[in-house]
Structure 1
Amino acid sequence: MDQLAQLPDDLRVTRKFKVTGKVEGVYQTPAPEDFQTQAVETLALGFEGIAGDRHAGFTRLSGGREPWYPRGTEMCNERQISILSLEELSLIAARMEIAELKPEWIGGNIALVGIPNLTWVPPRTRLVFEGGVVLRVDGDNAPCRFAGAAIAEHYPDRDGLDLLFPQKAKRLRGLVGYVEKPGSIAPGETVTAHIPEQWIYERI
């Protein structure tokens, strides 16, 4: 009760709202060992994610992103799907001074347009696709050197792109999420982001 009495009177709450965009492309890995994806006509999604994809599964093994677990600990797979913004990829490319950055180069599964600042969309957001699929956002996808190395393969005349990508793509790398309602997604579909009510939880 003492803590409740200390809640700030000026707590800023952003009410829930919706933002609509469009699917420009869908992609999956040719084999589970591959990182870069390939464009497909439709993306079939089950509760485990994309069957046969690198990130498919109800569970996954922890890695460097989860230092609170010993590496290799089995945990819930909240990173089944990588969702990217073409507008943000264009901005990253400009910052890196490269001609283009394709979603499939960095393992993207869904490329969207029309949702401003996609990477800033908060956790718990529901992405509702026109065809019926619903994805739940876990959070932003931090850029890493591994993805930077994949980009560098397409620009052999440039040095240091593997390290440049994490610097220039911070808070622009898109989202990761998991399948809440399965089905298929195809380019041209509309997608509506149902943004939940938000506030900042701060130390009292």
Structure 2
Amino acid sequence: EQRALLAKTSRAQQQIESERDKMATVCKDLEDLIRDKSRTIDARDIRINQIEEELKQIKLEGKSMRNNQELAKAQKAFTDREEAWLAQSASMETNFEGIMKEYERLTMSAMEFETNRMKYEQRIEQLTRDLEKMDTELTEERINKLGYDAKEGPTTASLRKEFRQLVSDMKVKQQKIVDRELDEKKALEGKIKDMKHE
């Protein structure tokens, strides 16, 4: 039952890590989109300044214009362009606010996933320790009953057979410990790389 619970917990941890990676990808995409929107807004501000300078120039030139109709047309063209830029700016600001809210929501979700992942890791460690303790108790019990047969009593053949089985089980157990330590080492190395990238 402990092994089944450990396996179930491990699968849940893997699923959480997979979802965390997806969330990290989405967050990165949102950050890239925010940078693009910021550059677009900067370009818009520059263009508005250029249009304002053009209007100032037109007004200065308008003083010497003989045809007031041309000045009115130029002013209308500027007004139309300014209104278009303002409408676009309002739309971009609305989109930007929505993006920021979504980014905050995803950040909170990522933090919750990380918290759950840590809880699952702690649970797995506890179950692993419990399992190792039970394996040790089982091994000690088998050693105490090594070669014991209620009908015939211990024999050399039965002792040899049970000893070989006991050694084999201990090798398997030791290999599992080594494999787990290697997995933990890889996981720690991965976390260190992630921290360096951040």
More helix by share: 2
TM-score (norm 2): 0.19
The structure with the larger Rg is 2
More strand by share: 1
TM-score (norm 1): 0.19
